[in-house]
Amino acid sequence: MIRDMYPQLSLATEIFLCAPISTATVERDFSTMNRILTDLRYRLTTEHLEQLMRISIEGPSDLNNDLKDLIIDCHEMNGNWYSWSIGSTPNDYVLAWRHTYNILLNKGIDATRLQWVWSVNRKDYGQYTAEEYWVGENYTHWLGINGFNGGSSANWSKWEWPNEILDNMMSRLHKLSSTKPMSLNAYATVGVRTGNTTDVQSKNEWLRQMCDYINNNNIKMASYNNVDGPNQDNMVFGGTHGDVIWNNFKAYSAYRNCLQSNDWIEPNITNPRLITDEQFADQAMVRESYLRPPQKHYICQYSGCGNRCSRKHKFSTVPVVDIKNCYRSLLYSAKLYCHYSCYICESCGRDDDDYHYYQCQGCGHVYCHDCCFK
């Protein structure tokens, strides 16, 4: 009866019912997600997972642009504070590194667009040595080190000059590869040599010696970590100490003088991210420097509080607490700082495991790094 009344609609319905339905595309997407979200990467956020899946499924959007990038993946693996060092082995690390490297290489992202930096901490603090995490000559373009002078800012640190910080690990890395360029991916120094008072002269001398060290040891890239930490006056520009003033910001003349030499690449004013292919491939024997701009600090956003996040430490890193009370406690050791595991930013809602959180000592509210520092 209905077929007689609506013959064309009935025919369309029969055709639709016979159309093949497939979930292959969805299943492939889930397979891609499972390949990326492995046990070693269980801390990936939804946003990062989506980006990695898009790269894997669709490939890069445009390989003909001038974008060049360096990737420092799972750095300081010879420490004991990151997920890729805790609860996994060097073999896990190497397999994950090579797997990710091959994914991007197979998508056409070669060394002309992306270069990999294998970066260690300047000392072994974890269960394994840096050498045990070596990914191999064919799976990185750079060797890197992170090293900091903590001075008397903490009871576990002491004042060390650049050669005391870097010599040992530099020698060890050169034994792994004599052909890869060397980078200093994160370095900084406090100003407190003894006690708790900043010694501007000593910090200037440390910076001068580091400039000489970079030149004398053929370090091709250096990145100063221009951010103050709790009890650590690291900043060389825009901080609370210095011996010169530039654009109303305090700064250290030794760092300025170092960058004004002819050993460094100056940014392209029309396109600051652009360097030549020769420079990117380390054929021009040049060096780069990255200095984070001075950070402004938020005032505590809780109504009626008004404390400002500053190096006077009215905010401080969330302290160690009883890890048994943390809902993610099964994933971490009992020595872990809780700001890596069970805090949620009360401003933006961030709850990333792999992130620093700060607690206002005026009202006790907790904020992530991005909401405490701007």
d(CA 69, CA 63): 12
Q: In this structure, are residues 140 and 117 in contact, taking their beta carbons and an 8 Å threshold?
A: yes
Tally of residues, the chain: 374
Q: Smallest Cα–Cα separation from 96: which of 176, 51, 36?
A: 36
- CATH number for the domain spanning 176: value is 3.20.20.80
pLDDT beyond 80 at 247: yes
For the segment 325-338, the average pLDDT, to the nearest whole number, is 27
d(CA 357, CA 354): 10
Q: Is residue 311 part of a domain?
A: no
Buried residues in 257-279 as b, exposed as e (16+ CB within 10 A): ebeeeeebeeeeeeeeeebeeeb
Q: Is residue 304 part of a domain?
A: no
Same domain, 28 and 103: no
Same domain, 43 and 121: no
Q: Is residue 352 part of a domain?
A: no
Same domain, 161 and 256: yes
d(CA 374, CA 371): 7
pLDDT beyond 70 at 275: no
Same domain, 121 and 221: yes
pLDDT of residue 26: 59
Number of domains present in the structure of the chain: 2
- Cα separations in angstroms, 357 against 87, 225, 228, 337: 23, 18, 15, 10
Q: Is residue 234 part of a domain?
A: yes
- Cα separations in angstroms, 15 against 9, 10, 147, 156, 254: 10, 9, 68, 75, 78
The tokens 């989506």 sit on which residue?
50
Domain termination site, one of 71, 88, 115: 71
Domain termination site, one of 46, 71, 96: 71
With a CB cutoff of 8 Å and minimum separation 6, the contacts of 363 are 300, 302, 304, 305, 307
pLDDT beyond 80 at 335: no
Of the ranges 40-54, 123-137, 281-295, the best mean pLDDT one? 123-137
Q: Is residue 167 part of a domain?
A: yes
Same domain, 211 and 255: yes
pLDDT, tens only, 171-186: 999 999 999 999 999 9
pLDDT of residue 329: 25
Q: Smallest Cα–Cα separation from 68: which of 266, 282, 263, 269?
A: 282
Say how far residue 180 (Cα) sits from the centre of its chain.
21
What confidence category does residue 280 fall into, taking pLDDT thresholds of 50, 70 and 90?
Answer: low
Per-chain mean pLDDT for the chain? 75
pLDDT beyond 60 at 342: no
pLDDT of residue 359: 66
pLDDT of residue 66: 61
Q: In this structure, are residues 94 and 118 in contact, taking their beta carbons and an 8 Å threshold?
A: no
pLDDT beyond 60 at 237: yes
The residue type at 332: Y
- Cα separations in angstroms, 277 against 59, 63, 102, 109: 22, 14, 22, 14
Same domain, 26 and 67: yes
pLDDT of residue 167: 97
Same domain, 195 and 223: yes
pLDDT of residue 36: 77
pLDDT of residue 65: 57
pLDDT of residue 282: 57
pLDDT of residue 165: 97
Q: Is residue 196 part of a domain?
A: yes
What confidence category does residue 303 fall into, taking pLDDT thresholds of 50, 70 and 90?
Answer: low
Domain termination site, one of 267, 286, 305: 286
With a CB cutoff of 8 Å and minimum separation 6, the contacts of 84 are 40, 74, 77, 93, 96
pLDDT beyond 90 at 261: no
Q: In this structure, are residues 284 and 325 in contact, taking their beta carbons and an 8 Å threshold?
A: no
The tokens 């910080």 sit on which residue?
165
pLDDT beyond 80 at 230: no
DSSP structure string for 96-124: HHHHHHHHHHHTT--TTTEEEEEEEESS-
d(CA 179, CA 137): 9
Q: In this structure, are residues 126 and 109 in contact, taking their beta carbons and an 8 Å threshold?
A: no
Same domain, 135 and 249: yes
The DSSP bridge pattern shows strands 219-224 and 182-189 to be: parallel
Boundaries of domain holding 9: 1-71
Token duo for residue 65: 């642009």
Same domain, 103 and 207: yes
User: What's the pTM?
Assistant: 0.63
Q: Smallest Cα–Cα separation from 194: which of 186, 203, 185?
A: 203
For the segment 312-327, the average pLDDT, to the nearest whole number, is 32
The share of the chain scoring above pLDDT 70, in percent, equals 62
pLDDT beyond 80 at 257: yes
Same domain, 152 and 219: yes
Same domain, 210 and 272: yes
pLDDT, tens only, 205-223: 999 999 999 999 999 889 9
Q: Smallest Cα–Cα separation from 73: which of 93, 88, 59?
A: 93
Q: Is residue 66 part of a domain?
A: yes
Q: Is residue 305 part of a domain?
A: no
pLDDT, tens only, 7-51: 776 766 666 555 555 555 656 677 777 777 776 666 677 777 777
SS3 for 27?
helix
Same domain, 113 and 183: yes
SS3 for 284?
coil
pLDDT of residue 250: 92
For the segment 53-76, the average pLDDT, to the nearest whole number, is 70
